[in-house]
Structure formats: C-alpha cells, structure tokens
C-alpha cells in the first residue's frame, strides 16, 4: 500500500475539472483505493508541491520515427519520402530498433504519458522489440506493426500474405497477454495497402474484437491519389468502410479534410479519431474541424503523431490544440479532458484509466507547480496547458508503479 499527499486535478467532462487541494491518495494493488482529506498515518510520500493528474494518453504516435522529430518539410508526402520512410528502414536492424524503442518509452514517461497507441516500422522484429521494452519499462501501450504492401518504397514493401501473417503472430503473442499491452492492426493508409490486405485485416479484427488504426484525410494530395486508386468509392472514408475497417475499436488519425457524409459514416460505425494538432501545424496539413466534430458527438482525443508532430509531450499537444484552431476557442478544461479522460474513452478504457477515481488503475503524473499553495484551480489548469512543458515532472506511475521519478 502506498499513500501520497498531493493536489489532485481531475477531468470530469469537456467543461468541468475538479481540484482537490492537499488530499491523500492511497494506492493498493495498482489501483486507487481511497481519496481523502485526512489520514491517520504519518507514513506518506509528500507530493504537495505538485499537482497530480491522470497519466496522459497519446492516441496516435509513430515510435520508429522518434529520432527524426523536427525534420522540416513543406508537405506530408514529401516528408514521408524524405524522412519517415528512410528512418523506418533503420529499425530493420535489431539494435537500432531496441535503441529507438527504449529512448521513446523513457522520454514518453518522463513527459508524463502513461498510455500510447503506437505504429512501429513495418518489420516484425521492430514491433516485437517495442512490446518487449514497453513491458520492461512498465508502460501501458497498444502497439501495431505498420502494414504496407503497395505504392511504397521497395525497402518497406511487404508481401500481402506476409504483412498479414506477421501481424497475426504479433496479435496472438501480445494482445492482452499481459495487463498493460494490446495489439492494434495497423494498415498505414489506403495509399499503401491493397484491397486484399485491408479486407483481410478488417474481417479478422472485427471477428476478434481487435483494435485497428490507420490515417484518414490528412492532406489534399493524399485524398486525390486515394480516390484515383479506388474509383468506385465516393470519398476516402468509404474506402475504409468498404473493407470493413471501421468500427468502435478503429482509431482514425487526423480526419482534417472531411465532408458531412464522411462524418456520418464515422459516427454510424462508432469509429474514433486521433486529433494531432502539432503535426497538422508542422506539416501544414490543415485545421481539424474541432467544433463540427465535437458537435456531431464523434469521439476523438489528442495525439502527438511524432514524428509528424515535433514533440512527444502531450502537454505540448494540449497547447497546440488551442493554437491550431483559428476561430474556435479550446478552453484549458477541454484540452486537458481530450488528453486524459476522453483519450481513455476513445480506447474504451474509461472505466480503468483517464481520471483519478477510487477503483481505477493508478496511472498518475505528478507535476511541480511553483507557489502552488497560492494558486486557484483556473490558474493551475491554464498553467498546465500553456506552460506545462516548462514545468518539472516529478514522477509518473502506471498501475501504481513508478515508471519515472526525477
């Protein structure tokens, strides 16, 4: 049993946050067992110089691109060909794959992220290594081997059957075999995946209640080329619908240039969206229709999209979520919600993680706030969203275990 004195900042909804000052948090068997104003014991860790927030959730990130963060480009397809694809090739080498995975997860927990939904390079060994290191460090992760079997550079191209078979093997070996790790089927996007590969993936994932992730409507050229490849589809979203890739466990990255018919398909199928504002800014992909998608009640959450995004920090992503919107004002309460509780909802894990509540797993991030005793809830929340990257993260816990301590 572990007892901690701290100040809890907890997301309730997109318009509500609670702040519990000088509160005692008890952790037992990886779960939060009590939250109280008083304690009878003097045996507790004192984190009263910190706020304690739920561990941050990154719903879309490319682990194998971690080392090329900040590589400038004018557009997505140029960026992929110049930086991302050659970098992913390097993870064919086991030692390189180990180094990138270790550095990625260490940085991730250092920045307060406890759950990540990950694309690895299209090599089985790169994905396998990511799982092993995630287990070793103790993070919560949903990891998939990127699949691409056409219209790709030769060095990343896979045979259709092999791409699928390796994914199945990884799914069998890692999905829900340990408490914190799951597999996600990962066809990169319609441009680099054959109809056969998408159909096999969609059918299997649906039958086995598995996660699927892919990219949708990030860039105009990507959309035009996709529609040329699939002339029987009226729009990009229909391509994924046709191959059975949409559903409640599907996470669609980006979804920027999208019309009402497509949003209706996303809503009807219960598919989810990973919104990546830092990446959208950096690669100049465009503005996510935040207000429209929110009003349509389609479930979405925030993501770093490293290395399309420059930083793995979800504190940075929260800030960018506001900055990227020209007209809609994303409040600090909203940004915080979309990086925590709503992230958990997108993954169907809101009963387990996403907020600090008795019975939930103790995925927690402790962040030092100067002069915390003199600050009100609104000031602290705003500081978290706009200055969070400048604040020191003191500790990160996943299921009650410290995975990072400064």
- The minimum distance between CB 148 and Zn ion, in angstroms, equals 13
What string marks each residue from 258 to 277 as x (binds Zn ion by CB under 5 A) or -? --------------------
Binding residue for Zn ion (CB under 5 A) from 262, 305, 334, 383? 305
**Which one of 26-34, 300-308, 342-350, 397-405 is the stretch in contact with Zn ion (CB under 5 A)?**
300-308
Nearest distance from C-beta of residue 309 to Zn ion, angstroms: 9
Q: How many residues touch Zn ion (CB under 5 A)? A: 2
For Zn ion, the binding residue among 11, 253, 309, 388 (CB under 5 A) is 253
Q: Are strands 300-302 and 364-368 parallel, antiparallel or unpaired?
A: unpaired
Helices vs strands, H then E, count in the chain = 15, 15
Q: What are phi and psi of 180, to 5 degrees?
A: -105, -5
Residue/partner pairs of 45-49 with CB below 8 Å, 24 or more apart: 45/2, 45/3, 45/4, 45/5, 46/4, 46/5, 47/4, 47/5, 47/6, 47/366, 47/394, 47/395, 48/5, 48/6, 48/7, 48/22, 48/372, 49/368, 49/369, 49/372, 49/394
Q: Which two tokens stand for residue 236?
A: 């990009």
C-alpha–C-alpha distance, residues 363 and 361, integer Å = 6
**Separation of alpha carbons 149 and 158, rounded Å:** 5
Q: Which stretch binds Zn ion (CB under 5 A): 88-96, 110-118, 298-306, 384-392?
A: 298-306
From CA 58, how far away is CA 313, in angstroms rounded? 9
**Closer by beta carbon to Zn ion, 253 or else 343:** 253
**CB closer to Zn ion out of 69 and 368:** 69
Q: Between 253 and 289, whose beta carbon lies closer to Zn ion?
A: 253
Residue 218 binds to Zn ion (criterion: CB under 5 A): no
Query: Is 278 one of the binding residues for Zn ion (CB under 5 A)?
Result: no
Distance from C-alpha of 297 to C-alpha of 68, rounded to nearest angstrom: 35
Q: Spell out the alpha helix ranges (H) of 271-364.
A: 277-282, 290-295, 314-323, 332-338, 341-346
Nearer to Zn ion, 47 or 257 (CB): 257
| Stretch in the footprint of Zn ion (CB under 5 A) among 4-12, 249-257, 362-370, 397-405 | 249-257
Closer of 128 and 305 to Zn ion (Cβ): 305
Give the shortest CB-232-to-Zn ion separation in angstroms: 26
Query: Is the Cβ of residue 65 or residue 365 nearer to Zn ion in the bound state?
Result: 65
222: contact with Zn ion by CB under 5 A: no
Residue whose CB is less far from Zn ion, 79 or 290: 79
Tokens of 320: 């960018």
Interacting residue ranges for Zn ion, rule: CB under 5 A: 253, 305
């Amino acid at each position: 049993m572990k007892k901690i004195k701290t100040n809890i900042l907890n997301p309730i909804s997109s318009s509500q946050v609670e702040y519990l000052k000088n509160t005692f948090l008890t952790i037992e068997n990886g779960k939060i067992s009590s939250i109280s104003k008083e304690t009878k014991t003097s045996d507790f860790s004192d984190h009263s110089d910190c706020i304690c927030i739920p561990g941050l959730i990154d719903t879309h990130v490319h682990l194998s691109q971690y080392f090329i963060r900040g590589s400038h480009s004018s557009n997505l397809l140029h960026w992929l060909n110049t930086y991302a694809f050659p970098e992913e090739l390097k993870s064919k080498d086991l030692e390189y794959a180990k180094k990138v995975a270790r550095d990625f997860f260490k940085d991730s927990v250092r920045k307060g992220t406890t759950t990540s939904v990950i694309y690895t390079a299209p090599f089985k060994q790169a994905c396998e290594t990511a799982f092993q290191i995630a287990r070793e460090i103790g993070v919560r992760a949903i990891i998939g081997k990127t699949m691409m079997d056409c219209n790709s550079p030769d060095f990343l191209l896979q045979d259709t059957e092999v791409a699928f078979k390796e994914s199945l093997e990884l799914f069998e070996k890692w999905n829900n075999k340990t408490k914190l790790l799951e597999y996600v089927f990962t066809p990169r996007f319609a441009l680099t995946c054959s109809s056969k590969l998408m159909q096999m993936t969609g059918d299997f994932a649906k039958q086995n209640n598995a996660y699927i992730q892919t990219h949708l409507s990030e860039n105009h050229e990507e959309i035009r080329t996709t529609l040329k490849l699939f002339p029987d589809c009226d729009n990009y979203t229909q391509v994924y619908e046709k191959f059975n890739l949409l559903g409640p466990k599907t996470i669609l990255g980006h979804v920027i240039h999208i019309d009402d018919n497509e949003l209706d398909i996303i809503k009807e199928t219960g598919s989810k969206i990973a919104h990546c504002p830092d990446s959208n800014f950096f690669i100049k992909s465009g503005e996510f229709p935040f207000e429209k998608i929110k009003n349509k009640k389609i479930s979405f959450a925030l993501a770093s999209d490293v290395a399309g995004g420059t930083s793995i920090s979800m504190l940075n992503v929260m800030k960018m979520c506001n900055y990227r919107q020209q007209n809609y004002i994303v409040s600090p309460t909203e940004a915080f919600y979309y990086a925590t509780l709503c992230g958990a909802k997108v993954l169907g894990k809101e009963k387990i993680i996403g907020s600090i509540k008795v019975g939930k797993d103790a995925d927690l991030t402790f962040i030092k706030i100067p002069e915390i005793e003199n600050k009100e809830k609104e000031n602290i929340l705003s500081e978290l969203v706009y200055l969070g990257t400048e604040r020191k993260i003191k500790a990160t816990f996943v299921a009650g275990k410290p995975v990072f301590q400064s």
